[in-house]
Amino acid sequence: MIWDALGLQLGYNATLVTLGAAMLGMGAGATGTYLYLGKRALVSDAISHATLPGVVLGFIAMVVMGGEGRFLPGLMLGAALSAGLGLLAVTWLTARTRLHEDAAIGAVLSVFFGFGVVLLTVVQVMDTGRQAGLETFLLGATAGMLRNEALTIALGGAVILLLVRLLHRPMILVAFDPEYAVGQGMRLRAVDLAMMGLALGITVTGLKVVGLVLIVALLIIPPVAARFWSERAEIVVIIAGLIGGAAGYFGAALSATAPDLPTGPLIVLSAFVLFVLSLLLAPGRGVLAAALRHMRFQRRVHLRQGLLALASGQPVYEPLTLRLLRRAGFLRPDGVATDAGHAMAARARLDERRWQTLRSDPQFEAAAARYDGLTPLEEVLTADQIAALDRGLGLAGLR
């Protein structure tokens, strides 16, 4: 069953929902990158929680007007208006009071969400409200999702991806260096509102799939995971989009096999699995890569210390050092240094003497800052600099 879901073999509607969730995840991951890099992650939390009153009021308004209360575009419009009001409240409190942004976010988040829960409770006692299924907007649910709803979600994700591509440069500049962006003639407030607008769009679009409680995770986990894979902002945006898309795909596919489970938690758990894999396996900043670098560094230190011990005629007792010297062909099994070992030991000792001079001579200050004490000096200094060091040691002409 699971493999059928992952292979899009569970029918047309399930396939459409899964692809729509993947498109939503791509848009969320790419959009969330700018919030993450600009240290504005909590803003998305306020936006998501502020949507609940709008969803319920939108339902009530459509019922009062004699329409279908569960009409998704209408509910999304109500959510957008409510979230926009919440975003304006956060902006106003931050600009006009002494509250910091995090305190303003906490106030708006709790008030709007509390009001939404009260409204949701009231709606549940209405005859039309009992069957509304509005509680699915809390954690997301794709079971029974209509074709038009899935298309709306996929289209929303695609539009947001397009806007991210068009607004990438101003948003990345504002996220990293707002003062430089202003110096380049960019309107800081307009770019900031555009960034918040994209976050609002993703939040409203993803209500049905991920739910308002967990949509913030889909905005933040993918860029955090992507940050392990690259130092370049544009690459991080692409990888975050791919991770978000994969999380949406796997989460929605798994949800299709277990309709009783809410979709939002499965998507977030899928994103968390991808985050853990990134944390462990990323080649530059992953845990395993860091452990391998540390292990290689330790081995270089042991080998260098072993060579210095051979150069000074001292015995080597450390098992790892002995093993490394023997593996490199510098030491025989009986503990006697080979010809290659003697040559490398003499070179290590010479480098050590050069290093002592390097650290104490102001003319080599820049080179000393780059040298780690393990790399052969020929890879750090020019031939002229090494000749100058050797003259200071009385070793002119020695190579």
* CATH code of the domain in which 29 resides: 1.10.3470.10
User: Within this chain, do residues 198 and 328 fall inside the same structural domain, yes or no?
Assistant: no
Which residues are CB-neighbours of 385 under 8 A, at least 6 positions away? Answer: 364, 367
Say if CB 186 and CB 174 are below 8 A apart.
Answer: yes
With respect to residue 38, please indicate whether it lies within any of the assigned structural domains.
yes
pLDDT at 27 over 50: yes
The rounded mean pLDDT for the chain is: 84
Is residue 399 a part of any domain in this protein?
no
Question: In terms of domains, do 198 and 270 share one?
Answer: yes
Is residue 130 situated within a structural domain? yes
Check whether residue 207 and residue 137 sit in a common domain: yes
Q: Which residue from 230, 224, 174, 222 is spatially nearest to 202, judged by alpha carbons?
A: 222
Q: Which domain holds residue 236?
A: 2-281
Please check whether residue 397 lies inside any domain of the structure: no
Q: Which of 281, 304, 319 is the last residue of a domain?
A: 281
Query: From CA 72, how far away is CA 214, in angstroms rounded?
Result: 19
pLDDT band at 193 (very low <50, low <70, confident <90, very high): confident
Boundary (domain end) residue, out of 215, 250, 281: 281
Is the pLDDT at 308 greater than 80? The verdict is yes
Contact of 24 with 153, CB cutoff 8 Å: yes
Kindly state whether residues 294 and 363 are assigned to the same domain: yes
Q: Please check whether residues 340 and 245 belong to one and the same domain.
A: no
Token readout for 366 is: 């820049």
Q: Which of 165-174, 202-211, 224-233, 388-397 has the lowest mean pLDDT?
A: 388-397
| pLDDT category of residue 282 using cuts at 50, 70 and 90 | very high
pLDDT value at position 72?
Answer: 79
- Same-domain pairing of 198 and 337: no
16: Cβ–Cβ under 8 A, 6 or more apart, which residues?
147, 150, 151, 154
Domain co-membership, 54 together with 130 = yes
Residue 58 maps to a domain: yes
Evaluate whether residue 241 is within a structural domain. yes
Of 281, 305, 328, which marks where a domain is finished?
Answer: 281
- Our count of domains for the chain comes to 2
Spell out the residues 6+ positions from residue 362 whose beta carbon is closer than 8 angstroms to its own.
none
* Tokens read off for 126: 């209405």
- In terms of domains, do 227 and 295 share one? no
Enumerate residues 6+ apart whose C-beta is below 8 A from 352: 308
Length of the chain: 399
In the predicted model, what is the mean pLDDT of residues 75-93? 89
Structure tokens belonging to residue 278: 């990134």
Residues 165 and 146 in one domain: yes
Find out whether 133 and 70 touch, Cβ atoms under 8 Å: yes
Q: 244 and 367: one domain?
A: no
Q: Calculate the CA dihedral of residues 44, 45, 49, 50 and round it to 10 degrees.
A: -40
Indicate whether 57 and 144 sit together in one domain.
yes
* Highest mean pLDDT: which range of 18-22, 56-60, 170-174, 238-242: 238-242
Q: Average pLDDT, stretch 167-181? A: 86
- Is 157 a member of any domain? yes
In a domain, 398, yes or no: no
Same domain, 238 and 101: yes
